């Protein structure tokens, strides 16, 4: 049986985080599993947005650190949605900050960029 290749980003969060409800509120993500530490903080959370999986993982002793610890993010997670304006507004209401307002680009996309409460960059977009 062949395995289907999929892409599932793992976003690093600071240790001690207990609330990642931003993703449910902002993007309608469904939490599919959670592994907690003894103190109730998150070790790993798995989310699904319309069947696409991503993970949140606390920092650990490797070269993977949260954007807050690094002082920047080196990646943007891009999601395609039907209504870019509505999703950006929903994300802002949930705690995101706009870094580039929603606009149409001559290369055929409507896009807006946000930073989530943990410092991860997201580009919300659709082909026009």
Question: 98-118 in b/e burial notation, b at 16+ Cβ within 10 A?
Answer: eeeebeeeeeebbbbbbbbbb
Position 31 in a domain? yes
What pLDDT, on a 0 to 100 scale, did the predictor assign at position 1?
72
Q: What are the angstrom distances between the C-alpha of 111 and each of 2, 20, 45, 49, 97?
A: 35, 24, 27, 18, 15
Is residue 15 domain-resident? yes
CATH number at 37 reads 3.10.180.10
Q: What is the pLDDT at residue 52?
A: 94
5 is a domain residue:
no
pLDDT at 57: 95
3-state secondary structure of 69: helix
So what's the pLDDT on residue 36?
A: 96
- Residue 3's pLDDT band (cuts 50, 70, 90): confident
Confidence of residue 6 (pLDDT cuts 50, 70, 90): confident
Nearest to 125 by CA among 113, 115, 110, 103: 110
Domain hosting 97: range is 10-127
Task: Identify whether 33 is part of a domain.
Answer: yes
- pLDDT, tens digit, 9 for 90 and up, residues 33-90: 999 999 999 999 999 999 999 999 999 867 889 998 899 998 999 999 999 999 999 9
pTM: 0.90
Is 50 within a domain?
Answer: yes
What is the average pLDDT across 4-15? 91
Residue 24 lies in a domain: yes
Q: Domain count for the chain, please give it.
A: 1
Tell me the C-alpha distance between 42 and 23, whole Å.
14
Would you place residue 9 in the very low, low, confident or very high pLDDT band (cuts 50, 70, 90)? very high
- Tell me the per-residue pLDDT of 84-111, one tens digit each, with 9 for 90 and over: 999 999 999 999 999 999 999 999 999 9
Query: Residues 47, 30: contact at Cβ < 8 Å?
Result: yes
Q: Is residue 92 part of a domain?
A: yes
In a domain, 2, yes or no: no
d(CA 85, CA 89): 6
């Amino acid at each position: 049986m062949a395995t289907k290749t999929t892409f599932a980003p793992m976003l690093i969060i600071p240790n001690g985080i207990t609330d990642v409800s931003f993703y449910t509120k902002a993007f309608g993500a469904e939490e599919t599993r959670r592994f907690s530490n003894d103190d109730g903080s998150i070790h790993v959370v798995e989310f699904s947005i319309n069947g696409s999986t991503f993970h949140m993982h606390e920092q650990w002793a490797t070269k993977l650190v949260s954007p807050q610890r690094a002082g920047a993010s080196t990646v943007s997670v891009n999601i395609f949605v039907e209504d870019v304006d509505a999703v950006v507004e929903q994300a802002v209401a949930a705690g995101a900050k706009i870094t580039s307002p929603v606009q149409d680009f001559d290369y055929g996309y409507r896009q807006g960029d946000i930073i989530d409460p943990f410092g991860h960059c997201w580009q919300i977009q659709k082909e026009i």
